[in-house]
Structure 1
């Protein structure tokens, strides 16, 4: 990845966990009624053949990490746990009322916040409540995000007992200066203990999240973090660029100045070094920002063409319906998106009125569905084609014209029936997807909505 290309293509752009992206959702065609109809349609089409996915957002944290852009509530009062779990289970029951058969759960992921803020007993009560009126798909996969400082043996065992086999630990960086800046002090020994505990209990996939581009982070810091990671050999890794989006209200990214962040050129060097070191020890790059050992399901899904991307990031399989439970969670029926209320108080208020607590969303039209498929193909397979009439759209010639300069720069190959992202172009796949993003092309934002692409 040359510095020339970084300087040229390092612009603000979506991460494409959805299309259309959230700022371009059309509220005029969205309603709770339309969302329910789209989900019922999706469920009836696919529950029996592929099952559904569930994402549960657990927003509480005991302290604020200043790199985090997620929806969270900071508190040390653990009496909030039980009411929140009761609310999530009520929301789940409201969804169950829509279905004419038991949902078959293929994937479940607990995110946050800090899921291990909750006690092992409460986590077990939550999952058992979800599973009570459900069935499990063959080869189901349950995963959760663990904080190395507070994920105990009891947490790991409780979730293992209800079907969890994958855990992902947020490492970020092992350097103390960087950890102080992002308010996330966690020694290597804590990560080592949490990783080994998971494996002793029987977890088959342990992941680590590492971030480059953090405040005060140097090349040596990234090298040190990756070499320490090498000692623990996590099954998969997310190695991604810090997304600096302090304009999002309440996300906490104001504990340092922008001048403390690495330059685009330094971030490029950090990425290059990290990728090189990970490749040398046997990791394979998966899609964008992800790496996995050959034994991990994420790698196997890439080989089989089943890799998928949604609001949970990259997943090893696709379900048409994904239900998001909890405050700020986003659901996806394939034909529509719906996001829950962001404040816990508003979330509780709607549930008290026996309403599914969504506050905004988008119903996809025919054009949206076509573009969504192309962007998914590019993000998961680094190629897309329009040999099938169903994937051709009238503005395709304009899209290909926008990509001409990227072709000249060696980022992709354009054929009469397909485009293919080159190895050189993979770090710029977000930029390539932006050429397909018709909504973004038609209306460029007046203010910065997205993080930088590099």
Structure 2
């Protein structure tokens, strides 16, 4: 970090596409459609390496009750929970269309529910979703079954329900513990709430707990972020994801609510990253790569030391390169060498499935 000069910061201080997944979204082309995707599915079933690659599932649940101003994800802000039931029905339709081409009972080693806010679904709806997936796929023992959790939407009882449904990994969206930063991004969640939930998750027996952090948010300073880092070290999650905030208000409307003068400059962002690297190292975390850290006894850290670490579109994994079936509006998947993304709006998603067509748009 000491080799980064002010001139270098000025030269390269420009926002860009997310690099945590490759290819980035701006590399996708609409010339790729449902017929191309179906050929990829058929190749998985009947091609020369039929069934050789493990299968990973991603389910996108776009609904959120509250808007976080920094968010660049595909989401629908609503307090109307009756929108969940029809969405769940259409997820089932999409899964059915996949199974028609793949065959039922394919073994799944990895499942992730993301959003949006997956815990926008009620307990019964999450149970229905998991039952539907199990009817169509074989969720193998020892797999990684994770769900993103908004601390504002769960309590210890809900965490017990998630464990009973088969989830063994949790990812908590923390971002920053500082109250001023939380207010600036419209995401108020006291540190005490997160600490209580992580403690409950450990008592329940979740195998791995991840915490997401973001540096570069409005009202953040290196000093305030130090306090968040100290609290995270005290919290001691199994894994930490540390992302840099990219301010692109011309592309993401929620970010227009952020006061630009409140954003830290490039030098302060680099300082926050440097302090985070030092803090996590001092707290005993191994650097996994690409913004991710893990405790030495976590499966990711062990796999890295043993040369068994893999990366797919869902992030780092101990599982070998997998085909990724992605369900839900805007979800991104990968089958063989082909990447694809679903349509971005609910109307398009529902219309496509009503016609019996997979909602691939690029």
Could you state the TM-score of these two structures normalised by the residue count of structure 1? 0.75
CA distance change for structure 1 residues 299 and 6 in 2, over 3 Å: closer, same or farther? Answer: farther
The alignment status of 1:267 with 2:264, answered yes or no, reads: no
Kindly indicate whether the alpha-carbon contact (under 8 Å) linking 1:50 and 1:106 is maintained by their aligned counterparts in 2: no
User: Residue 449 of structure 1 corresponds to which residue in structure 2?
Assistant: none
**Per the alignment, in what secondary structure is the counterpart of residue 132 of structure 1?**
helix
Work out the CA distance in 2 between the residues paired with 1:141 and 1:260: 39
Q: 1:348 aligns with which of 344, 347, 350?
A: 350
RMSD (CA atoms):
1.8
1:161-180 to structure 2, matched below 5 A, reads 161-180=164-183
Work out the CA distance in 1 between the residues paired with 2:113 and 2:317: 14
CA distance change for structure 1 residues 11 and 301 in 2, over 3 Å: closer, same or farther? Answer: farther
Q: 2:282 aligns with which of 271, 280, 283?
A: 280
User: What number of residue pairs does the alignment pair up?
Assistant: 358
The alignment status of 1:144 with 2:147, answered yes or no, reads: yes
Q: 1:38 aligns with which of 37, 40, 51?
A: 40
User: Residue 197 of structure 2 corresponds to which residue in structure 1?
Assistant: 194
CA distance change for structure 1 residues 283 and 43 in 2, over 3 Å: closer, same or farther? Answer: farther
Q: CA deviation at 1:150?
A: 1.3
Kindly indicate whether the alpha-carbon contact (under 8 Å) linking 2:30 and 2:361 is maintained by their aligned counterparts in 1: no
**Per the alignment, in what secondary structure is the counterpart of residue 85 of structure 1?**
helix
Q: CA deviation at 1:3?
A: 3.2
User: Residue 334 of structure 2 corresponds to which residue in structure 1?
Assistant: 332
Work out the CA distance in 2 between the residues paired with 1:213 and 1:90: 40
Work out the CA distance in 1 between the residues paired with 2:352 and 2:167: 30
Work out the CA distance in 1 between the residues paired with 2:308 and 2:60: 25
Kindly indicate whether the alpha-carbon contact (under 8 Å) linking 1:104 and 1:137 is maintained by their aligned counterparts in 2: yes
Kindly indicate whether the alpha-carbon contact (under 8 Å) linking 1:46 and 1:320 is maintained by their aligned counterparts in 2: no
Q: CA deviation at 1:343?
A: 0.7
Greater alpha carbon shift after TM alignment, 135-144 vs 287-296: 135-144
User: Residue 254 of structure 1 corresponds to which residue in structure 2?
Assistant: 256
Q: CA deviation at 1:158?
A: 2.3
Greater alpha carbon shift after TM alignment, 329-338 vs 296-305: 296-305
User: Residue 421 of structure 1 corresponds to which residue in structure 2?
Assistant: none
Q: CA deviation at 1:43?
A: 4.9
CA distance change for structure 1 residues 16 and 160 in 2, over 3 Å: closer, same or farther? Answer: same
Work out the CA distance in 2 between the residues paired with 1:122 and 1:53: 21
Kindly indicate whether the alpha-carbon contact (under 8 Å) linking 1:53 and 1:105 is maintained by their aligned counterparts in 2: yes
Residue-by-residue CA offset, 1:375-424 (whole Å, 9 max, x unaligned):
xxxxxxxxxxxxxxxxxxxxxxxxxxxxxxxxxxxxxxxxxxxxxxxxxx
Work out the CA distance in 2 between the residues paired with 1:50 and 1:110: 21
Kindly indicate whether the alpha-carbon contact (under 8 Å) linking 2:63 and 2:76 is maintained by their aligned counterparts in 1: yes
Q: 2:160 aligns with which of 157, 161, 173?
A: 157
Work out the CA distance in 2 between the residues paired with 1:312 and 1:182: 25
Work out the CA distance in 2 between the residues paired with 1:174 and 1:43: 47
CA distance change for structure 1 residues 39 and 11 in 2, over 3 Å: closer, same or farther? Answer: farther
Residue-by-residue CA offset, 1:348-396 (whole Å, 9 max, x unaligned):
1111111111111xxxxxxxxxxxxxxxxxxxxxxxxxxxxxxxxxxxx
Residue-by-residue CA offset, 1:87-127 (whole Å, 9 max, x unaligned):
11111111000014521111000101111111111101101
Q: CA deviation at 1:154?
A: 3.4
Residue-by-residue CA offset, 1:174-194 (whole Å, 9 max, x unaligned):
111100010000001110111
Kindly indicate whether the alpha-carbon contact (under 8 Å) linking 2:212 and 2:242 is maintained by their aligned counterparts in 1: yes
Could you state the TM-score of these two structures normalised by the residue count of structure 2? 0.93
User: Residue 239 of structure 1 corresponds to which residue in structure 2?
Assistant: 242
Q: 1:60 aligns with which of 58, 63, 68?
A: 63
User: Residue 124 of structure 1 corresponds to which residue in structure 2?
Assistant: 127
